[in-house]
Amino acid sequence: MAENHRPGYADWAVGNRGGDRAVEGYADRVSVAPGESFVLFVSAPTGWFRAEAFRMGWYGGALARRVWSSGRLPVREQPMPGARGTTRTVAAAWGPSTRVSTRGWPEGAYLIRLTAASGEQRHVPVTVRSRTTAGRVVLVNAVATWQAYNTWGGHSLYHGPGGKGDDAGRSLAVSCDRPYDRDGAPLFLTYEQPVIALAERIGLPLAYVTSMDLDREFGLLDGARAVISLGHDEYWTPAMRERITAARDAGTNIAFLGANACFRRIRLESTARGDRRLVVCYKSDWTHDPAYGKDDAAVTTDWREPPHARPENSLTGTLYESNPTSADYTVTEPGHWLFSGTGVTRGSRFPHLVGTEYDRVTGDPSTPRPIEVIAHSPLVCRGVRSFSDSAYYTAPGGAGVFATGTMRWVESLNGDGAHGIAPATAGFTRRVTENLLRVFAAGPAGRRHPARDNLAEHHPYAGDPVWTHQQLW
């Protein structure tokens, strides 16, 4: 695309993070239409800060272009709030710092870098969403999942201030009205940015939306060629699932490049800053959800659990099983079109590419057919022997649906050796991802590449109620 021929700006990352409260901020919108404005709320003890906006892409390997920079802006340290209410929600009711116009900014995923007078930095992610997705490959920023894991203020949907063992202190609803922890964009940079760089490098027609946009806008996916769920896309509302399922049924290809996708059913509610800025998920405490007994389809728990169970594999093709694990990715169908140009053979292995969470094909009644297992990777997780599966199925409307079955797929694209994955593995995962994106961008993949069902070959005991993992070994 022409945008990526413009000069890049390699110095876009956070350098000196400093202490936890050195500088931090959030935006009052997770996404804006091109030309709209958003407000930044910033806290720092240093008297002034500046902000820079970077559009993430390829840009000749620089990975970003700076589209805007402020001058020095006044700032003050704003209070760290405590958790409030029965949902133990943390929200930073700060005063505004500056309003930012996106006039002239292209659609895309952006990082706003805050730099304090003392040099410390943080990111604030904002998406300039696409007005239409027709004819495009849609990249979904998983904002709901980002917030679920965000520990800023001491509380996430997983634990309270006591750390991972503090389940009783976890939030039941988390707010977008607060900064993100760590560098300000940890899940985006780990699980999404590498795919954005690859997709923009090969020049595909792309559209950018967030999980909140999918929930809000009926018909947003009309005419889309493909929808790409990136590396960690766990938290979905019923509306998100219905709209992506409807897109699949209309012939839009779907890819799940991570594992554990569409696992939690959530509800989005309003905050003081606007609608769909509160992510509600009671999880195992679902009987305490105010929707229970009134609207069971809206009760927030795991999708596969009551009171309105709909296992995720009816859409994804694979079922999340467990974590943590680290195992070799094992190719079983080297002639599949996704492996074209990789040079793999049956049994080719890529150490540590499977992990830390993984999915597998089960063959239960929710499994779409025909489904083709193209990588079947033995592993051990929590003392249990099992498998991770990469799988491809085709839907009656012509759509192709692919799931990698591992959360490390997107991370591996960087080739930086994370998790012990050999840097050379990036050549394999990049080529497979490029094959996927190019074929999915061309229209309903199932019409040209129908799945060859091989479930009986790789999971001969699937569907047997007395089957156990150990019986396969």
Cβ neighbours, 10 Å, residue 307: 15
- Quick: pLDDT tens for 203-241: 999 999 999 999 999 999 999 999 999 999 999 999 999
Within a domain: residue 221? yes
Q: Per-residue pLDDT tens for 276-322?
A: 999 999 999 999 999 999 999 999 999 999 999 999 999 999 999 99
The reply to whether 323 falls in a domain is: yes
Dihedral angle over CA of 163, 211, 300, 390, nearest 10: -80
Residue 169 corresponds to which tokens in the numbers above?
């202190």
Is 93 part of any domain?
no
At residue 459, the pLDDT reads 72
**pLDDT confidence bin for 2, thresholds 50/70/90:** confident
pLDDT-derived band at 470, boundaries 50, 70, 90 = very low
Closest CA to 91 of 175, 182, 184: 175
The DSSP call for residue 84 is B
Give me the number of domains the chain comprises: 1
Residue 340 sits in a domain of what CATH number? 3.40.50.880
pLDDT of residue 104: 97
Comparing CA positions, the residue from 243, 245, 212, 207 lying closest to residue 225 is: 207
- 76 inside domain: no
Give residues with Cβ within 8 angstroms of 287, minimum separation 6: none
Residue 208 placed within a domain: yes
The SS3 call for residue 145 is helix
CA distance 193 to 160: 28
Answer yes or no: is pLDDT of 253 > 60: yes
278 in any annotated domain: yes
Distance in angstroms (rounded) separating the CA atoms of residues 330 and 182: 34
What is the reported pLDDT for 20? 82
The type of residue at 299 is V
CA pair distance 463, 127, nearest whole angstrom = 42
Q: What is the pLDDT of residue 226?
A: 98
Range of the domain at 256: 131-472
With cut-offs at 50, 70 and 90, classify the pLDDT of residue 472.
Answer: very low
Q: For residue 95, tell me if it sits in a domain.
A: no
Torsion of CA 220, 244, 260, 465, to 10 degrees: 170
State the residue for tokens 């704003």: 78
Whole-number pLDDT of residue 8: 97
Cβ proximity of 116 and 138 under 8 Å: no
- DSSP sequence for 222-290: TT-SEEEE-S---EE-HHHHHHHHHHHHTT-EEEE-SSSTT-EE-EEEEETTEEEEEEE--GGGGGGST
For residue 68, tell me if it sits in a domain: no
Average pLDDT (13-35) is 95
Going by the DSSP 8-state scheme, the letter that residue 301 receives in this structure is S
Q: What is the mean pLDDT of the chain?
A: 95
Contacts of 293 (CB under 8 A, 6+ apart): none
pLDDT of residue 461: 53
C-beta atoms surrounding 1 within 10 Å: 16
